[in-house]
Homo-oligomer: A and B are copies of this chain.
């Protein structure tokens, strides 16, 4: 008897961190089911039931290989180490450092400061947006500079890497949630537009997860 261990992604369609992992699973051809956790209206991530899955009470969380892994970058790195082909990493330490610089500019420099969970700390939605946009803008300026030096067909050289997986969801947020104009960042904008045309990002796009949204 073969016991099939399921891979389950707990995620929210509008969560950029969830999209990173969803795209990583698709890229590596790992079959999985996605269980939606509404972090916006129903706030399911704050329930006791979900705390058992992820004590951080955040999405994403991935049940894989009989365990649960949390934190999107820890998940992506685990997938890379256990399923190295196709790879999401460039092949030299220096290029991997360049990739990780881009990832961190987004993962620790932008995403935490535009996370929807912060909004209740601000008196008005406008004040929260001003705050978030300021930090996103600073991050985009750095990304524009980095991409000029690192990019080929993709963010780092000529193959898709974790940098692309971080870039697309973050820019989708910047453009759709914050109506930010990417024109001042032509390199960033160019990669965002071209990556959106890739099958990988079409398949894993929030619009494809939540069929009800219209833009």
Contacts and interface: CB of A to CB of B under 8 A. Distances in A.
Tell me the interface secondary structure of chain A in the complex. Answer: helix
How many A residues are at the interface, by size bracket? Answer: 35 or more
B141 A71 contact: no
A91 to B, nearest CB: 11
B134 A104 contact: no
Contact of A74 (B67, B101, B145): B101
Contacts of A82: 93
A104 B73 contact: yes
Contacts of A73: 100, 104, 108
How many chain copies? 2
23 contacts: A56-B105, A58-B109, A65-B94, A69-B97, A69-B101, A71-B105, A72-B104, A73-B100, A73-B104, A74-B101, A74-B103, A74-B104, A75-B97, A78-B93, A78-B94, A78-B97, A81-B96, A82-B93, A108-B111, A108-B112, A109-B112, A112-B113, A121-B131
Given A78-B97, A121-B131, 5 more contacts: A55-B145, A56-B138, A57-B138, A71-B108, A77-B100
